[in-house]
Structure 1
Amino acid sequence: MRLFPVVLLCALATTTAYGVDFDRCLKSVQNGDHGTGRIGATDNEGNILNDVQNAIGLTYTLCVQACGGGPEPFDWSTFSREFSAWLLPWLALISQLPFGPKDRLDNIESVLLTVGSPTLAAYSLALTVLNGRWIARRFSKYTYPNVRNAVRALSSLQQAPIQVSDRDGLLASLIVLPQNDEWWKELIEWLEYPHTWSVSAVTSIAWVVIAYAFTVVDSFTGDLSPDWVRNTCGQSVASIWLWLLPVVVGWLLVSPKCNEERLRNAMLRANLLAYVATDSQVLLARRLSKDHHAIDLALVELEDDNLRVDERNTAPVYNFARFLPWVQSVETILLCLEAASARCERHESVDNDNEWVLTQPNEKPDMRHRMGNLRQVARYCTMEGLQLHPSRKSRGRWGPNVRSRIITASLFALFLQWGTWAAIIIVYFTPTTGLGCRSASYILFGVLSTLVWMLLLASSLLSHCVTASRPNRACRWLSIELRRLGKLVATFNALWIVATCFFQFTNFYDNCYCNSAVFGRRHSAFNVIVIVFGDTSRRMWDAWIGGTFLGSGVAIIFVTFVVLHINPTLPKELESQSQTEDICVCRCN
């Protein structure tokens, strides 16, 4: 982090001490100060002219000879205007990203990971909304009490590492016993700590949208002067940050529960209400000498586990690391719930001595059918004696529909990331056309962002393999090193994109090398200093229009994807019977 201000100061010092004036250089060439004839004076297309007086551009060799290799001088008024109009709104919008951990360093790390890899940020967001829709559909076929609450609770717990335990009948008791209906209700109520819309969030988003609109309008209302054309690179800066808008809006729509302290307190308070069946009676779980619960957070357990350190960070950008463990926890709960629902549909009581009392289809089963001892409750949540559809008998270590969700989330994440091409197109077709310093910087940002996503996704898959199956020392080491490398690259990439924007505003890129597009043109590189109306300017206008529609369209499509997948239809909750409530009060007392 300390290197960034040093690099910026060096850039400012360089542009101030060795500043050049391209207009003056061109004038000197036109006056014949560097010779006449075919010395390297060009037109807009890079064609070498016989008459230097008609020159509007210079070959790279002549540019260095006439102007030197340094950039144009730094202009504070220009820098402050462009920075505040085109970059500052986006940097301010970063503050609206959802944070979670108590540790400030963890929050800074999540910001660097988001900025350094928009692909990863969009992937975690897409995965989250897909998971919410998947779990709602997965549980929709069951009609046992608390199915709806289970979906809401498990969806909200995607931002935290959860652990599920069926030891001593804890999970079976949590699902079957009517006393635990209150546990589900209270957990849902205490989890209502969303990161959602606020005045500051709306203001930041409005500021960004208005600034981007002004940038676009300014790009199409100039006079094609060299300074104006170079300054319209502000549109490319806005386009390279356009991914941030749908990510922030998406998380505000999802409203993740990611505050670590509140998540911990919510689970702690709910577990104080949990009941568990024993051999003789039903007791509060906290009265037993147990140090575990049916559903709990693994924040403490993962604190010293170097393999699964990302799972502990409750910032939503880390949902990619919690995805597979979360699916396994959901499936464990679903197994118990599926068995209980199937037995309930067959009119089986937990205690077979209780004759089944018919109820209305939309009502909970009588409380007496949900009471029993530890052995009976545990058996009620197993598949013993039940016949299931063949497709439900095989359960892999990964979980159902995992591959399709990973692929879908990946495609949308890459789609949003490579909307970066809008910025690349804008600078690529701005004279001098071709691959130059600015477009190459944007391409590098996109490539490194994608690389970070690949590294961390591979790390999470290896971590799950090591955790869910036989431990493998080589896979464990590889997972840890891939994670470290991915975060290192993300940190560099975050600093790189900010530095790239600063370089544009400080004229650091306004030198013969960058303006001549040497990266792409090689030996035919040339620097257009004056732009005239013609094919080049028309292509430039088309590129700017196309880039604007491309970047805006990608952002709108991604937000639409999030909107269509949030708030899925939840399973219908069974209604309570008045007599059941009276009996429950008596039994609980």
Structure 2
Amino acid sequence: MIPKFIFTSVSVVYASFLALLVLPSAIATEVNFTACFAQIRNGDHGNIGGTDNQGHHISNIGEATAVIYELCVTACGAGPEPFDWSVFSQQFSSWLLPWLALVSQLPFGANDKFDNLESMLLTVGSPVLAAYSLALTLLNGRWITRLFSPHTHIPKAMNALHVLNSLQQSPLIINTDDSLLISLVFLDENEPWWAELDAWLDYTHTWSIAAVTSISWVVIAYLFTLIDSFHDITISINANGQGVGLIWLWLLPIVLGWLQISPKCDSARLYRAVNRANKVAYVKTPSGAAVLASSISRQRAISLAVASLDQPVRRDELCTAPIYNYARFFPWVQAVEEVERVFRLADKQTRIPLSDDSEVGWEDQEKTAGDLRIRRMYTPSQVEARHLALKRTVLRKQNHRDQDVWSRIFLASILALSLQWGTTGAAIVAVWFTPTSGLGCRSGSYILYGGLSTVIWMMLVLSSILSRYSTATTKSTFLTRTAAQLSIFLRRCGKVLAVFNTILVIASGIFQFSKFYDRCYCNSSVLGWGYKAFFVMQFNQEDMDQVERAWIGGVALAAGTAALFAGFITLFLNPSPPSNPRSS
């Protein structure tokens, strides 16, 4: 649940922002287009400049249904129509306010209040990034299930699968020094460690009365408003929020998706769970005795990183809000593979007797069926040697693993871009074909919003790749330092753009509802038509049919895109591990 401070701060920002946007519109030179158009048709401003609704010039100004942009500015002025509070309040509360309220149902969880606010701004400022992180989380869950499926007969393997999957929102650290990880997997004394950590992480941030109420309010309000907008589309057609409602439709599958996944993102709870589990972690000493790891050192096999000023390049990795899963993707995958490698060693131990020769080519030995019980290791050094041998053998399969990583990135990218541009494209269509058709202030703002959202996603994903490259080795070189600095630069620029884009999408709706866009420049679609721009002042039946078709098409495109993304979530959610014949 979003903290109360978010409600307070966002409400203040919205109220202040609303005042700043509406006030200039209210005090600016206002235009009465009805009276102005009547004067133009009476010939008060000459007989030149009249057109039909397709922009074709006509000789009789009295029969004109549109005028060229220059005549509009000369006769009417460059200001907007008067601010109408009744229109603004109705459109704002119907089309935009429910979506702003739904933002509160996004998962947060960071201890730092600024990080929670930042994650909200990132989500609204870049729906591509939000959908990308969500899709990656689902694909990772499917991948780790298949990765651990051959080891389901091993005690602790299913617990490990659940634990690692639950820690996708955490800065996971795997320590293989001093046989810590090997002891965690091999020792029977560590079975409670896996079981208890799995239980402590088995909490949900999912459906609640508040969440269901918020989602129901948004859906019902949108449906009612959508149906009402088709009754008489000529009423406040340029102030209508059809495009605004469509451009925010991406938020619904994102909120529903996170509620179904129930990400473990409460940072205080995550750190507490891992620390509690590590108090009962055992490690085997060279003498063969299993002792508590806490009695030997402060090092643990599995732990969570703590924020440090020495590593600003990893800042996003350390924040547990799910929007930052894009930044944790590469280190999390590496951590999971490291743990799975030890389970694979345990799997081989069930079938191949331990040899004193650590250099034996055990991957070539006959895999005889035998006792499936994991053999207790003789010494940590002996099994450590086996672990190193296993690392050498899996290098042959690394290319396949890398391809799987990039295939998940590619699929998540396609899904995220489809959701963004399916809803944004629908909003563009809805306003593009509203006379005067073409690229104007409204459609231009939607294109800018979608474009910036995509650029933000590209910058932050590239930042995560550079961050991974710069921290993959402890050796500092010119390339690693340059990559780290570039990663920080891209991350900061992306977040600044996200704040701007959040303001842009909210401002676009407010401008539309307050009639700030109802001026000669915007209603003439000058951005698209250039010097041929014209302002349609009187709609005919053909125009109304065109608008209705555009609105229906936009709704179908946005709803279909959102439904497909929601279907992907349902399809990939909670995959079951394939049956393992050896598990019986």
TM-score by length of 1: 0.89
Which residue matches 1:434?
438
Which residue matches 2:174?
164
Which residue matches 2:303?
296
Distance 2:285 2:142 in 1: 36
**SS of residue matched to 2:236:** helix
Q: Which amino acid aligns with 2:86?
A: S
Q: Which amino acid aligns with 2:547?
A: M
**Quick one: which of 532, 540, 546 aligns to 2:547?**
540
Task: Say if 2:146 is the partner of 1:137.
Answer: yes
**Quick one: which of 161, 172, 175 aligns to 2:185?**
175
Q: How does 1:361-440 map to 2 (within 5 A)?
A: 365=373, 369-370=375-376, 372-379=378-385, 381-383=387-389, 393-395=396-398, 399=402, 401-419=404-422, 420-440=424-444
**Quick one: which of 33, 40, 43 aligns to 2:44?**
33
**Quick one: which of 16, 27, 45 aligns to 2:54?**
45
Deviation (angstroms), 1:392? 5.8
Deviation (angstroms), 1:574? 12
Which residue matches 2:362?
none
**Quick one: which of 489, 502, 519 aligns to 2:527?**
519
The more displaced of 565-574 and 65-74 is 565-574
Deviation (angstroms), 1:228? 3.2
Which residue matches 1:317?
323
Q: How does 1:213-252 map to 2 (within 5 A)?
A: 213-222=223-232, 224-225=233-234, 227-232=235-240, 234-252=241-259
Distance 2:259 2:353 in 1: 44
Cα separation, partners in 2 of 1:240 and 1:313, compared to 1, 3 Å? same
Which residue matches 2:488?
480
Distance 1:47 1:210 in 2: 43
Q: How does 1:352-363 map to 2 (within 5 A)?
A: none
Q: Which amino acid aligns with 1:506?
A: S
Which residue matches 2:469?
465
Which residue matches 2:217?
207
Deviation (angstroms), 1:203? 1.1
Q: Deviations over 1:144-195 (max 9, x none)?
A: 2211111111111000010001111100000000111111110111112322
**SS of residue matched to 1:98:** coil
Task: Say if 2:456 is the partner of 1:452.
Answer: yes
Task: Say if 2:83 is the partner of 1:83.
Answer: no
**Quick one: which of 67, 82, 85 aligns to 1:58?**
67
CA contact (8 A) 2:350 2:370 kept: no
Distance 1:473 1:497 in 2: 36
Distance 1:323 1:394 in 2: 20
Deviation (angstroms), 1:429? 0.3
Q: Deviations over 1:381-401 (max 9, x none)?
A: 4536x996xx76343798561
Q: Which amino acid aligns with 2:453?
A: S
Deviation (angstroms), 1:542? 1.6
**Quick one: which of 143, 157, 169 aligns to 1:147?**
157
Q: Which amino acid aligns with 2:527?
A: F
Deviation (angstroms), 1:40? 1.4
Which residue matches 2:267?
260
**Quick one: which of 98, 114, 129 aligns to 1:120?**
129
CA contact (8 A) 2:239 2:515 kept: no
Q: How many residues were matched structurally?
A: 556
Cα separation, partners in 2 of 1:328 and 1:396, compared to 1, 3 Å? farther
Cα separation, partners in 2 of 1:198 and 1:6, compared to 1, 3 Å? closer
Structure 2 runs not aligned, ≥5 long:
1-9, 359-368
Deviation (angstroms), 1:528? 1.2
**Quick one: which of 82, 86, 94 aligns to 1:73?**
82
CA contact (8 A) 1:350 1:377 kept: no
Distance 2:258 2:191 in 1: 30
RMSD, aligned CA: 2.6
Cα separation, partners in 2 of 1:576 and 1:33, compared to 1, 3 Å? closer
Deviation (angstroms), 1:556? 0.4
**SS of residue matched to 1:395:** helix
Deviation (angstroms), 1:506? 0.9
**SS of residue matched to 1:144:** coil
Deviation (angstroms), 1:9? 3.5
Distance 1:32 1:509 in 2: 27
CA contact (8 A) 1:145 1:574 kept: no
Cα separation, partners in 2 of 1:110 and 1:165, compared to 1, 3 Å? same
**Quick one: which of 18, 23, 28 aligns to 1:13?**
23
TM-score by length of 2: 0.90
Cα separation, partners in 2 of 1:21 and 1:408, compared to 1, 3 Å? same
Q: Deviations over 1:332-375 (max 9, x none)?
A: 111111111012123559999xxxxxxxx999727xx3254433
Task: Say if 2:491 is the partner of 1:490.
Answer: no
Q: Which amino acid aligns with 1:436?
A: G
**SS of residue matched to 2:263:** coil
Q: Which amino acid aligns with 1:475?
A: A
Distance 1:42 1:387 in 2: 77
**SS of residue matched to 1:206:** helix
CA contact (8 A) 1:350 1:370 kept: no
Distance 1:521 1:254 in 2: 47
Which residue matches 2:204?
194
**SS of residue matched to 2:500:** helix
Cα separation, partners in 2 of 1:10 and 1:298, compared to 1, 3 Å? closer
Distance 1:371 1:569 in 2: 31
Structure 1 runs not aligned, ≥5 long:
353-360, 578-589
CA contact (8 A) 1:136 1:151 kept: yes
**SS of residue matched to 2:202:** coil
Which residue matches 1:22?
33
Which residue matches 1:358?
none
